[in-house]
C-alpha cells in the first residue's frame, strides 16, 4: 500500500512538473485580433521563424501600445503600414530597435505581416506593415546593407478583406505626412492576444 502511494505521489509530481513546463513554454503560433475602424484582422505569428520579432510585437500588444494608433502609410498594390502614430499624428515613443530576422526563410507574400524599419537593417521597433501583394523584392538576399530585407513574422488568417478595403481607400497628405495617408483615417482600435493557435498551411 505504501509503495502504491509513493508511486501515485511520484506520478502526480511528474505530471505537475510537465504541466508547469508546458504553461511556461511560449506559444509558437500566437494569434492576435486587430480591431480597426475598417473591420477586424486576425494575425497568426511564427515564433519559431521570428522569435525576436514575435516577442517584440507581443510585448507591445501587452503594453497596449497599438491601441488607438493608425495606419499612416497606405500604398495600393504594395502594403499598409501602421503602429507608430496616434490619431492626431503624434509619433509614439517605442522601445529599443530589434535585430533583423529577415533571413528566416519567410517571404513578403500577400497577406504576410513584416517589421517596418529605416535604411538601417536593424532599426525595427514597433511599426509593421501588411503586404497587399507579393513583394519578394523585400526579402532577404544577403547580410549587407541592401540585402537584409524586411522581417516577415506572421500572416493574416482572417480579415484579408479588411486589408484590401484599407489599401483601396483614397490617400493624400495628413498631419505630418506629405502623402499616402488614407482618407478617412484608419484607426487601430485595439490589438489583443486571442488564442494559442496551431500553424495553418501557407
Residues 144, 39: contact at Cβ < 8 Å?
no
Phi, psi (5° rounding) for residue 80?
-120, 130
- N-term to C-term CA, the chain: 54
Residues 129, 116: contact at Cβ < 8 Å?
yes
Residues 117, 81: contact at Cβ < 8 Å?
no
Q: What is the pTM of this model?
A: 0.86
Cβ contacts of residue 113 below 8 Å, gap of 6+?
Answer: 43, 45, 128, 129, 130, 131, 152, 153, 154, 155, 156
CATH 2.60.40.1930 fits 26-196, yes or no: no
CB atoms within 10 A of CB 160: 16
The tens digit of pLDDT for each residue in 1-39 reads 455 555 555 555 555 544 444 456 789 999 999 999 999
Cβ contacts of residue 178 below 8 Å, gap of 6+?
Answer: none
Q: Which of 201, 190, 199, 193 lies closest to 83 in space, CA to CA?
A: 190
The tens digit of pLDDT for each residue in 131-168 reads 999 999 999 999 999 999 999 999 999 999 999 999 99
The tens digit of pLDDT for each residue in 43-72 reads 999 999 999 999 999 999 999 999 999 999
Amino acid at each position: 500500500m505504501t509503495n502504491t502511494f509513493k508511486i501515485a505521489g511520484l506520478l502526480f509530481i511528474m505530471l505537475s512538473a510537465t504541466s508547469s513546463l508546458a504553461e511556461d513554454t511560449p506559444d509558437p503560433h500566437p494569434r492576435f485580433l486587430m480591431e480597426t475602424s475598417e473591420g477586424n484582422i486576425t494575425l497568426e505569428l511564427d515564433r519559431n521563424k521570428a522569435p525576436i520579432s514575435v516577442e517584440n510585437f507581443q510585448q507591445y500588444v501587452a503594453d497596449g501600445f497599438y491601441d488607438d494608433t493608425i495606419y499612416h502609410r497606405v500604398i495600393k498594390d504594395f502594403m499598409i503600414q501602421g503602429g507608430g502614430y496616434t490619431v492626431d499624428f503624434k509619433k509614439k515613443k517605442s522601445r529599443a530597435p530589434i535585430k533583423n530576422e529577415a533571413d528566416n526563410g519567410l517571404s513578403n507574400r500577400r497577406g504576410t505581416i513584416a517589421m517596418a524599419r529605416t535604411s538601417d537593417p536593424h532599426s525595427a521597433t514597433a511599426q509593421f506593415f501588411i503586404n497587399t501583394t507579393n513583394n519578394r523584392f523585400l526579402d532577404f538576399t544577403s547580410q549587407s546593407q541592401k540585402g537584409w530585407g524586411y522581417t516577415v513574422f506572421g500572416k493574416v488568417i482572417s480579415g484579408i478583406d479588411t486589408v484590401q478595403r484599407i489599401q483601396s481607400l483614397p490617400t493624400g497628405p495628413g498631419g505630418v505626412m506629405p502623402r499616402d495617408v488614407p482618407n478617412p483615417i484608419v484607426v487601430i482600435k485595439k490589438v489583443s492576444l486571442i488564442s494559442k493557435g496551431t500553424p495553418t498551411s501557407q
